[in-house]
Amino acid sequence: MPDIAAVESPLFRVADEVRDALVHGLPVVALESNVIAHGFRAPDNIAVAREVEHAVRAGGAIPATIAIADGQFQIGCGPAELEALAAAGRSAAKVTSRDIAVALAGGSLGATSISATMAIADRAGIATVASAGLGGVHRGAQTTFDISADLTELARTRLIVVCAGVKKILDAGLTLEFLETQGTPVIGYRSGEFPAFYCRDSGFRTPVHLDSAREIAEVAGLHLEFAGSGSVLVTHPIPEADALDGERIEAAIRDALARAERERVTGAAVTTFVLRAVDEATGGAAAAANRAVLISTAAAAAEIESARAALAEGVRDAH
C-alpha cells in the first residue's frame, strides 16, 4: 500500500475518490492543470480537461488533476475546480517545481506544469503521471543553457511518467543525451520511435521498446527498487490519424522562433508563444493534435498504472 501520510497534511486537499483509491491501492493517474489554464482557449480548455479525465477512467484508473488553490495542493479537481481553472485562463499562475512554495504562500490559483505535477504527485503517493509533451533541452542550449525543469524533476521523483516525447520545438537528440546522463530510463510503449509531441517521429529511437503495459510496470518496479533511481519515462506517440507532418511543423517552428526573437519574447513565454504561432500557421491543426496527444497519453498512462497496481496487489497478496 502506498505511503500517503503526506496527504494528511493541511497543505493537501484530496478528492474523496482519489483518497479512497490511494488507501486501497487502486490505480490513480495524476494530470497537470497548466494545459487547462494555458494550453487551450475557452471553451476548448474545459472540454479537453473532461475528455482527458474520461480517457483515464476508460482505462480503469482514477484521474487526479493537480492544481494549487487557497494555499493548498488540490489533488483531484472536481467540476467546480476544473471550471475555475478554465475560466481563469492565463491569469492563473503557471507553476513549475521551483514556484510551488511561492504559489502556496500567495494563496492564489496556480496551474501546475508537468514538473510541479510530478513533484506534488510523488509526495502524495501517486505512482503515475500523464502529460502530452515533456519539456526538454531547448534548441541552442549549448549557449543559453535552457533546459526544462521537467528533466531534472525526473531525477528527483520516483514515478512512471507517460508522455508523447518532447515538444517539436525542442532538441530531441540533446534531450535524450541529458536523460541518459542523469540515468532516466526511456521506454517506448508500442513504438520504437522517440516521438515529438504532435509528430510521431523525432528522428531518434527510444533506447527500449516494449509493447506490454505489464512489462513496463515490471521494469519500472525493478528500477524503483534502487535508492535514488529517479523516475521512468515512457513515451507513446500520437495516433497516426491525428499526427502532423514533421516538415510542415518544422517550417512553422522556425518562422515562430524568428518572430519571437524579433519581438523579444524570452524565457518561459517562448514556448507558449511558439506553440500558438504554430497553431495559427497550421490553421488550428496543431491544437487538434495537442488534444489528441493528451487523450492518447492519458489512456496509455491508465493502462500502465492499472498494470502497476495489479502487480502491487499481487505482491501484497503474496505476503
Number of folded domains that form the chain? 2
Domain that holds residue 41: 1-126
- Point out the domain boundary residue: 106, 126, 146: 126
| 199-205/193-196 β-pairing | antiparallel
Boundary residue ending a domain (126, 160, 191): 126
Q: Are residues 170 and 53 in the same domain?
A: no
Residues 25 and 140 in one domain: no
CA distance 158 to 136: 18
Kindly list the distances between the CA atom of residue 34 and the CA atoms of 8, 13, 205, in Å, as whole numbers in the listed order: 25, 18, 28
**Same-domain status, 297 and 154:** yes
Q: Judge whether 32 counts as a catalytic residue.
A: yes
Q: Distances from the Cα of 9 to the Cαs of 6, 64, 77, in angstroms?
A: 6, 18, 18
pLDDT tens-digit map of 179-233: 999 999 999 999 999 999 989 999 999 999 999 999 999 999 999 998 788 999 9
pLDDT at 249: 85
19 and 97 both lie in a single domain: yes
Separation of alpha carbons 213 and 59, rounded Å: 12
Residues 180 and 272 in one domain: yes
The pair phi, psi for residue 241, each rounded to 5°, is: -65, -25
| Grid cell locating 22 | 490511494
Three-class SS of 120-185: HHHHHCCCEEECCCECCEECCHHHHCCECHHHHHHHHCCCEEEECEECCCECHHHHHHHHHHCCCC
Q: Which pLDDT score is estimated for 187?
A: 98
Looking at the structure, tell me whether residues 110 and 150 fall in a common domain: no
Q: Is 146 marked within a binding site? A: yes
Residue 70 among known ligand-binding residues: no
150 is in an annotated binding site: yes
| Domain final residue, candidates 107, 126, 145 | 126
Indicate if 301 and 173 belong to the same structural domain.
yes
* 16 annotated to bind ligand: no
Q: Are residues 198 and 145 in the same domain?
A: yes
DSSP 238: P
pLDDT score of 4: 58
Let me know whether 22 and 94 are in one domain: yes
**What pLDDT score was predicted for residue 26?**
97
Residue 153 annotated among the catalytic residues of the structure: no
Judgement on whether residues 84 and 193 belong to the same structural domain of the protein:
no
The per-residue pLDDT for 47 is 97
Which positions of the chain have pLDDT values less than 50?
Answer: 1
Same domain? For 151 and 48 the reply is: no
Same domain? 175 vs 105: no
Tell me the CATH number at 108.
Answer: 3.40.1790.10
* Helix, strand, coil in percent for the chain, rounding step 5: 50, 20, 30
Q: What is the largest CA-CA distance in the chain?
A: 63
Tens-place pLDDT, residues 261-289? 899 887 767 777 887 788 888 887 888 99
Catalytic residue among 53, 81, 167, 168: 167
